[in-house]
Amino acid sequence: MIDTTAIRKNLKLLIDNDPWIVVDFQFVKPGKGQAFTRTKLKNMISGNTMERTYKSGEKLEEARIDENEMVFLYQQGKNYTFMDNTTYEQVELTEDHVGDAKNFLVENMNVEVLFFDGRPISVEVQNFVNLQIVETEPATKGDTVSGATKPATLSTGHTVNVPLFVNNEEWIVIDTRDGSYVERVKK
């Protein structure tokens, strides 16, 4: 058991036998009053969100989530298949469970697959991944300072805003935490 001082973003809690992840929290304490931590939680299986307020010192149970490094093999319809590199065991996750990670998955990418009670429930990709642009307007030469951007479609189907000087078919670094463009991949 842990208590409210352990609450932080991405903490995984076991509530009514389900794993919930803390997506946001706020410590609330009137100057002369009781302290609470207000949390916004997301169910790691259903994706539902809820708000829950904990009194300071209240005990919480951490959800035991096992992380397993796996490689993404392929996607078929709404199913995504991953393989354990040492046991060659394969697991299949639905699009709902893969969540936003689907925007960044390319074949043979190493990811963390999260298991709860032996069931795969979600996928975590690295904070920064390299992806190739498959469609964007031709680059505008010389414009490196204005901050103007244009949309670019990546090989995964995800669309990001990139600076005007970036070209079609270039590889770029994406921050998977917010899906944003970071820089061109250095050659």
Partner 1 sequence: MSGQPSPRTMFPGDFAATLRLRHSIIQEIRRFFDTSGYAEVETPLRVPCPCIDIFVDAFPAGASLFLSTSPEFHMKRLLRLNLDRIYQIGRAFRAEEGGRHHSAEFTMLEWYRTGTDYLGIMEETEQLVRRLAEALGPRCTGFSFPFGRMTVAELYGKHAGWDPVTGWNEDRYFRDWADKIEPALAGLGAFFLMDFPAPLAALSRIKQGDPLVCERFELFMNGLEIGNAYSELLDYDEHVRRFEHAAAARRAMGRQPYPADIGFLDSIRLGLPPCGGMAVGVDRLIMALLGLDHINLVQAFPAERL
CA neighbor of 136 nearest in space, from 181, 102, 177, 80: 181
For 84, the token pair is 């354990």
Complex with partner 1: residue 31 or 77, whichever CB lies closer: 31
Taking a C-beta distance cutoff of 8 angstroms, is the pair 35, 84 a contact? no
Tell me the closest approach of the beta carbon of residue 133 to partner 1, in angstroms: 29
Give the x/- contact pattern for partner 1 in 18-57, rule: CB under 8 A.
--------xxxxxxxxxxxxx------------x-x-xx-
41 closest CA partner among 14, 22, 62: 22
How many residues at the interface with partner 1, by CB under 8 A?
A: 19
By three-state DSSP, how is residue 112 classified? strand
Find the binding residues for partner 1 in span 55-74 (CB under 8 A): 55-56
- Residue 90 as a binder of partner 1 (CB under 8 A): the answer is no
Q: Considering only CA atoms, which of 124, 131, 177, 129 is closest in space to residue 154?
A: 131
CA-closest candidate to residue 107, choices 135, 140, 142, 72: 72
Whichever of 33 and 157 has its CB closer to partner 1, that residue is: 33
Task: Give min distance, CB of 7 to partner 1, in A.
Answer: 9
**Interface residues for partner 1 in 113-172 (CB under 8 A)?**
none
Question: Which residues form the interface with partner 1 (CB under 8 A)?
Answer: 4-5, 26-38, 51, 53, 55-56
